[in-house]
């Protein structure tokens, strides 16, 4: 069983914080890109025969910016090439400024059953400053079209002069829109993005201020019935993202399209970040991969620990012992002792105490050999 | 082989830093054909990389030159280079002893400076003929008449006939060569008397053993001569003698008046201390040449490997450096904070810097050094006396009757307008004013008695910044003085960090404690928990700062494509952690140990 990620590298315009593979000026290449994407899906299905797909995630960029026929085509191709489970979770990312009734209908017609909306903030001035193409009202128009569906929204914290009260209002807006899942990300200024300049000039919130907001968010959402199940992810009971949980359990997944990463048969590999390079590779039956690493031994173990400890559930030592044929408690007795005050034990499970989930790097490092 | 002593001149060049000593030496070698212009490496004498970079001379290199004078006769010049820094005053004095004269270079724009004065006095003390030379005539701001007058007024040395040269362009350098013959006396000494050879430097050669740089005062030495020194009982058979041109060039013998080297399969540099006298073991001289002093380290610092497993490499590096440096002292040290390492003693701050840099550069070792300390005398209540070079070895207060600290006699030369700020600084550094002399209209010499322990912190930097770089400074250690000293400990999260302990004057403890705590707060990264930083004297907390716990240390997103990136990020973090030391539960970066030095007293 594996997850499948489909990357759509197009959008209307770049947000100031975006460093993803997304190219507003390349929108003319949509047809050829999707033609290649279908071909890669077929190729990967032959490479990893008999793989059963449990979750599909269509991300970007802005997948909703392209005509829905491409998305439908991609999903038809997936079903044609792979066995997709009947109850598969199939998510698409939406930008509120790019959807209409027709698109939603089309998405649903091919089995898409989860919608992840990029809201970021409920304040139009902030949206504008981030170079987002939509308003807060657009978000509600979008959720209106999705009544009764499984909806998630992305929210950013750490923005210019942002207050906890503003984030609260943003959350209220999302909940009013009927979301059952929220991702709350601390803004990470990446080198080369326009917002990095703001960061250098001290215009964004400090890490401490962001942490204050984060802690506030955790409490506020708990009051609304949303539990944190991973560092940045909150959900009503049962509404967690299966696709993402698979990453943190170190399950297998295939990524197709520009910049997509895969983890199959202990190998991590990533496709090129350039559209032209991708198209050329696929047309000439060459591999679009630009990196490939076998992950074995201590490296694999550390990945397992690092990913598992991101979740509120934590790490299942019994599972670890089974996978790696080891005794976790014995193998990491020293690390466990050193970091005991930050960890919580419950039967076979070890988790980072709630209050330390946001400062976990230092804890995880202790488990790196 | 016999030489005509009348045609030999042994001399050195002394100058304030950057007044052109090495450049003139190069020019003399070039003019005497010792080195062809084409082959000439800039500043040949300073061969160590570090010396070149810093523009200073540490190891001495003598050179033998042949000069055909205008009177038609051929002369042998032995130029003995001297280190130009206050740390090496004793070495300078020994090299001077090997000469009959000294060329005193004075910068035509800057005039007499602190080291000009100190070196000139040292030369006069050693009965050397002083031959002033006014350099940097190529600069537009040269004022040779005034400078000549200064030299006469301040040093009492005739300077009207001083050659006015530019070592850089070569202007009038011939005049220097001619004046050497005219002004500097030929060596005396009796070739038939028992051998007396002054060791003015030595270094260790892997094949030949210790190579002693010597000036033969009396007698003769040749291959096979059985020699001994006055300070050691060991005897050695000479395997090689020779001169420097500037590379070592073997000869059959060296006789009175000559400057050269002796090799005798000597295994340890300790057996050939600078200033000691070599004599013929079978026909010994009655007494040694006067003036020998054991080189005493004055500044001490802990040196630890950054990576604890490199302890043996560090030991090897220090022992190798020690082979060529009798003044470096090494003792094993063990710190709770830094693990196994060494307590090293140095002649002064520059010597310390040079050694530390050579360890890192020549041996490719990363080291942690602790703040320098001086050696204190501790008089215990039971009547015994201790010398403490490491603050952690200080006995409990209850056992101490009183303590003494080393003091220095400082001479500061400055334009008069900076006298106020300098006096303020010296006052602040617990200095005792001794004298103020107007050397001329534009220069004042200030004399102070200061505790050495105040100088090793940031005295140089403060002096420079208060005088816009105009003041120059020189000092000599004069002895010990009773002082009200206390040991101050730094506590991190309640645990004493032994490597940060210092000995400080009681009246200064509060202020330094606060400064160090503030500095540590800057350099210690935030960690999982709040870290109190405290300064304590005798169990009493006198200053406190807090490093707040970090609040966010996580990658916000970690999905399919982020795993590799996140791992790399953590690996980098882990690398960074390796450079940290754990004090109890607190991790502190290695720079922290030295950073406490750099507290800004002017704030």
The pLDDT value recorded for residue B58 is 45
Q: Which CATH number covers residue B568?
A: 3.30.70.2570
**Across A39-65, average pLDDT:** 97
Nearest-CB residue to A259 (from B561, B566, B571) = B561
Which uninterrupted H or E stretch holds A234?
Answer: strand A233-235
CB contacts of A363 in chain B (<8 Å) are: 528
Cα–Cα distance measured from residue A120 to residue A137, given in angstroms and rounded to the nearest whole number: 13
Cα–Cα distance measured from residue B13 to residue B11, given in angstroms and rounded to the nearest whole number: 7
Is the same domain home to B131 and B27? yes
CA distance to partner chain A, nearest, from residue B546 (Å): 16
A182 pLDDT band, cuts 50/70/90, is very high
**CA dihedral over B92, B95, B101, B103, signed as positive or negative:** negative
**pLDDT over 80 at A225, yes or no:** yes
In this complex, how many residue pairs, one in chain A and one in chain B, have their CB atoms less than 8 Å apart? 94
Q: Tens digit of pLDDT for each residue in A336-368?
A: 999 999 999 999 999 999 999 999 999 999 999
Q: At which of B369, B390, B420 does a domain end?
A: B369
Task: For residue B27, tell me if it sits in a domain.
Answer: yes
Enumerate the β-bridge partners of residue B489: B536
Q: At which of B152, B183, B214 does a domain end?
A: B183
Torsions phi, psi for B27 (to 5 deg): -65, -40
Q: Tens digit of pLDDT for each residue in A273-290?
A: 999 999 999 999 999 999
Is the same domain home to B162 and B263? no
**DSSP structure string for B242-283:** EEESSSEEEESEEETT-EEEEE-----GGGG-TT-EEEESSS
- The pTM of the full predicted model, rounded to 2 decimals, is 0.72
Give the chain B residue nearest A294 (alpha carbons).
B564
The pLDDT value recorded for residue B136 is 94
Structural contact between residues A314 and A350, judged by C-beta atoms closer than 8 angstroms:
yes
The pLDDT value recorded for residue B44 is 47
Class level of CATH domain A2-247: alpha beta
The pLDDT value recorded for residue B59 is 52
The pLDDT value recorded for residue B48 is 52
Q: Tens digit of pLDDT for each residue in B355-396?
A: 888 898 889 998 988 888 899 999 999 999 999 988 999 999
Q: Which CATH number covers residue B58?
A: 3.40.50.300
A297-365 has which CATH code?
Answer: 1.10.10
**Across A299-307, average pLDDT:** 97
Q: Tens digit of pLDDT for each residue in A120-134?
A: 999 999 999 999 999
Cα–Cα distance measured from residue A138 to residue A148, given in angstroms and rounded to the nearest whole number: 18
- What torsion do the CA atoms of B36, B39, B43, B47 make, to the nearest 10 degrees? -120
**Across A20-44, average pLDDT:** 96
* Cβ <8 Å between B563 and A253: no
Task: For residue B603, tell me if it sits in a domain.
Answer: no
Is the same domain home to B98 and B144? yes
**pLDDT over 50 at A159, yes or no:** yes
Structural contact between residues A90 and A113, judged by C-beta atoms closer than 8 angstroms:
yes
The pLDDT value recorded for residue B50 is 52
Contacts of B510 (CB under 8 A, 6+ apart): B542, B543
**CA dihedral over A16, A20, A24, A26, signed as positive or negative:** positive
The pLDDT value recorded for residue B64 is 87
Cα–Cα distance measured from residue B157 to residue A257, given in angstroms and rounded to the nearest whole number: 87
- Residue A324, classed as helix, strand or coil, is helix
Structural contact between residues B559 and A244, judged by C-beta atoms closer than 8 angstroms:
yes
SS (H, E, C) B28-91: HHHHCCCCCCCCCCCCCCCCCHHHHHHCCCCCCCEEEEEEECCCCCEEEEEEECCCCCHHHHHH
**pLDDT over 70 at A223, yes or no:** yes
Task: For residue B74, tell me if it sits in a domain.
Answer: yes
Contacts of B571 (CB under 8 A, 6+ apart): A368
Task: For residue B293, tell me if it sits in a domain.
Answer: no
The pLDDT value recorded for residue A48 is 97
Is the same domain home to B527 and B430? no
Give the chain B residue nearest A241 (alpha carbons).
B559
Structural contact between residues A40 and A282, judged by C-beta atoms closer than 8 angstroms:
yes
Is the same domain home to B29 and B167? yes
* Cβ <8 Å between B561 and A270: yes
The pLDDT value recorded for residue B86 is 56
Is the same domain home to B309 and B359? yes
Cα–Cα distance measured from residue B272 to residue B282, given in angstroms and rounded to the nearest whole number: 18
Structural contact between residues B265 and B207, judged by C-beta atoms closer than 8 angstroms:
no
Structural contact between residues B216 and B257, judged by C-beta atoms closer than 8 angstroms:
yes
- Find the helix packing angle between B21-31 and B173-183, rounded to 10°: 90
CB contacts of A247 in chain B (<8 Å) are: 558-560, 563
The pLDDT value recorded for residue B55 is 45
Is the same domain home to B341 and B461? no
Contacts of A2 (CB under 8 A, 6+ apart): A48, A51, A52, A53, A54, A246, A251, A252, A253, A254, A264
Is the same domain home to B385 and B338? no
Task: For residue B191, tell me if it sits in a domain.
Answer: no
Q: Which CATH number covers residue B391?
A: 3.30.70.240
The residue ranges of every structural domain in chain A are 2-247, 297-365
CA distance to partner chain A, nearest, from residue B551 (Å): 6
Of A149, A155, A187, nearest in space to A173 by CA? A155
Average pLDDT, chain A: 96
Is the same domain home to B269 and B410? no
Cis status of the peptide bond prior to B237, with omega within 30 of 0: no
Structural contact between residues B104 and B112, judged by C-beta atoms closer than 8 angstroms:
no
**Domain count of the fold of chain B:** 5
Task: For residue B453, tell me if it sits in a domain.
Answer: yes
Is the same domain home to B450 and B550? no
Question: Measured between CB atoms, does B550 come within 8 Å of chain A?
Answer: yes
Is the same domain home to B385 and B317? no
Task: For residue B30, tell me if it sits in a domain.
Answer: yes
* Cβ <8 Å between B567 and A303: yes
Q: At which of B129, B151, B183 does a domain end?
A: B183
- Same-fold call for A2-247 versus A297-365: no
Q: Which residues of chain B have pLDDT under 70?
A: 1-3, 34-61, 83-88, 597-603
Range of the domain at B133: 5-183
Contacts of B113 (CB under 8 A, 6+ apart): B16, B19, B107, B413, B472
Question: Measured between CB atoms, does B89 come within 8 Å of chain A?
Answer: no
Distances (CA, A) of A358 to A342, A362, B42, B550, B556: 11, 10, 58, 10, 9
Q: How close are the terminal C-alpha atoms of chain A, in Å?
A: 30
Residues of chain A with pLDDT > 90: what percent?
Answer: 100
Task: For residue B291, tell me if it sits in a domain.
Answer: no
Structural contact between residues B186 and B5, judged by C-beta atoms closer than 8 angstroms:
yes
- Residue B305, classed as helix, strand or coil, is strand
Is the same domain home to B9 and B67? yes
Cα–Cα distance measured from residue B484 to residue B492, given in angstroms and rounded to the nearest whole number: 26
* Cβ <8 Å between A359 and B557: no
The pLDDT value recorded for residue B356 is 87
Distances (CA, A) of A204 to A164, A186, A210: 14, 11, 9
CB contacts of B570 in chain A (<8 Å) are: 306, 361, 364-365, 368
Interface test with A, best of B552, B577, B585 (most A CBs within 10 A): B552
The pLDDT value recorded for residue B38 is 41
């Amino acid at each position: 069983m594996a997850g499948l990620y489909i990357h759509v590298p197009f959008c209307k315009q770049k947000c100031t914080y975006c460093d993803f593979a997304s190219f507003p000026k390349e929108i003319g290449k949509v047809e050829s890109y999707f033609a290649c994407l279908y071909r890669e899906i077929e190729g990967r299905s032959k490479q990893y025969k008999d793989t059963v797909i449990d979750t599909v995630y269509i991300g970007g960029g802005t997948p909703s910016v392209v005509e829905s026929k491409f998305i439908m085509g991609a999903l038809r191709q997936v079903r044609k090439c792979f066995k997709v489970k009947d109850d598969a979770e199939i998510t698409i990312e939406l930008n509120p400024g790019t959807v209409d009734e027709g698109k939603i209908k089309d998405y649903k017609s091919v089995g898409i059953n989860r919608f992840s909306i990029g809201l970021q903030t409920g304040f139009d001035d902030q949206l504008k400053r981030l170079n987002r193409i939509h308003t807060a009202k657009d978000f509600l128009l979008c959720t209106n079209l999705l009544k009764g569906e499984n909806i998630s929204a992305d929210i950013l914290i750490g923005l210019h002069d942002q207050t906890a009260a503003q984030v609260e209002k943003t959350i209220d807006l999302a909940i009013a829109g009927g979301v059952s899942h929220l991702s709350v990300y601390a803004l990470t200024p990446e080198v080369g993005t326009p917002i990095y300049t703001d960061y250098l000039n001290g215009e964004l919130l400090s890490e401490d201020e962001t942490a204050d907001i984060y802690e506030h968010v955790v409490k506020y959402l708990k009051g609304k019935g949303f539990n944190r199940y991973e560092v940045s992810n909150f959900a009503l009971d049962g509404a967690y993202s299966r696709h993402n949980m698979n990453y943190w359990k170190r399950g297998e997944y295939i990524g197709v399209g520009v910049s997509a990463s895969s983890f199959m048969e202990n190998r991590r590999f990533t496709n090129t970040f350039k559209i032209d390079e991708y198209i050329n590779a696929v047309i000439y039956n060459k591999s679009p991969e630009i990196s490939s690493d076998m992950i074995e031994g201590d490296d694999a173990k550390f990945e397992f620990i690092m990913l598992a400890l991101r979740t509120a559930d934590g790490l299942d030592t019994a599972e670890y012992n089974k996978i790696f044929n080891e005794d976790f408690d014995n193998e990491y007795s020293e690390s466990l002792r050193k970091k005991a005050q930050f960890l919580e034990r419950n039967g076979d499970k070890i988790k980072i105490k709630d209050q330390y989930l946001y400062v976990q790097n230092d804890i995880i490092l202790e488990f790196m050999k | 082989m016999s030489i005509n002593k009348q045609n030999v001149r042994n001399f050195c060049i002394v100058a304030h830093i950057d007044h052109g000593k090495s450049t003139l030496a190069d020019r003399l070698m070039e003019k005497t054909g010792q080195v062809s212009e084409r082959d000439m490496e800039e500043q040949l004498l300073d061969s160590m990389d570090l010396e070149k970079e810093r523009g200073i001379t540490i190891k001495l290199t003598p050179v033998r030159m042949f000069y055909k004078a205008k009177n038609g006769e051929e002369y042998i010049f032995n130029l003995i280079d001297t280190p130009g820094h206050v740390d090496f005053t004793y070495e300078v004095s020994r090299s001077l002893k090997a000469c009959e004269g000294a060329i005193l270079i004075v910068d035509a724009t800057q005039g007499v400076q602190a080291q000009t004065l100190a070196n000139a006095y040292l030369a006069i003390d050693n009965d050397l003929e002083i031959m002033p030379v006014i350099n940097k005539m190529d600069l537009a701001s040269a004022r040779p008449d005034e400078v000549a007058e200064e030299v006469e007024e301040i040093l009492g040395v005739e300077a009207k006939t001083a050659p006015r040269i530019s070592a850089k362009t070569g202007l009038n350098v011939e005049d220097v060569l001619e004046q050497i013959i005219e002004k500097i006396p030929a060596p005396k000494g009796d070739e038939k008397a028992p051998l007396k050879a002054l060791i003015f430097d030595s270094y260790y050669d892997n094949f030949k053993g210790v190579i002693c740089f010597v000036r033969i005062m009396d007698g003769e030495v040749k291959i096979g001569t059985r020699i001994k020194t006055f300070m050691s009982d060991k005897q050695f058979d000479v395997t090689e003698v020779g001169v420097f041109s500037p590379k070592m060039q073997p000869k059959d013998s060296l006789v009175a008046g000559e400057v050269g080297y002796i090799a005798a399969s000597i295994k340890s540099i300790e057996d050939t201390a600078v200033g000691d006298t070599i004599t013929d073991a079978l026909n010994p001289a009655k007494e040694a040449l006067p003036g020998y002093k054991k080189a005493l380290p004055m500044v001490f610092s802990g040196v630890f490997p950054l990576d604890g497993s490199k302890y043996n490499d560090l030991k090897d590096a220090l022992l190798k450096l020690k082979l060529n440096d009798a003044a470096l002292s090494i003792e094993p040290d063990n710190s709770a904070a830094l693990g196994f390492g060494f307590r090293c003693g140095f002649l002064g701050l520059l010597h310390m810097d040079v050694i530390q840099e050579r360890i890192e550069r020549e041996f490719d070792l990363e080291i942690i050094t602790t703040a320098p300390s001086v050696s204190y005398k501790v008089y215990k209540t039971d009547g015994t006396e201790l010398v403490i070079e490491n603050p952690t070895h200080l006995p409990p207060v209850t056992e101490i009757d009183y303590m003494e600290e080393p003091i220095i006699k400082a001479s500061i030369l400055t334009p008069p307008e900076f006298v106020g700020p300098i006096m303020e600084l010296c006052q602040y550094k617990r200095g005792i004013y001794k004298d103020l002399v107007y050397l001329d209209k534009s220069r004042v010499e200030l004399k102070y008695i200061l505790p050495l322990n105040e100088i090793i912190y940031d005295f140089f930097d403060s002096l420079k910044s208060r005088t816009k770089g105009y003041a120059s400074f020189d000092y000599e250690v004069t002895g010990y003085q009773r002082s009200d000293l206390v040991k101050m400990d730094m506590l991190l999260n309640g645990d004493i960090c032994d490597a940060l302990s210092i000995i400080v004057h009681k009246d200064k403890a509060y202020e330094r404690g606060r400064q160090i705590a503030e500095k540590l707060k800057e350099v210690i990264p935030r960690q999982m928990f709040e870290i109190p930083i405290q300064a304590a004297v005798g169990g009493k907390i006198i200053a406190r700062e807090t490093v707040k716990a970090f609040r966010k240390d996580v990658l916000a997103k970690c999905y399919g494509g982020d795993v590799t990136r996140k791992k790399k990020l953590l690996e980098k973090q882990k690398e960074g952690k390796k450079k940290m030391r754990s004090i109890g539960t607190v991790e502190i970066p290695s720079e922290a140990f030295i950073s406490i030095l750099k507290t800004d007293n002017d704030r």
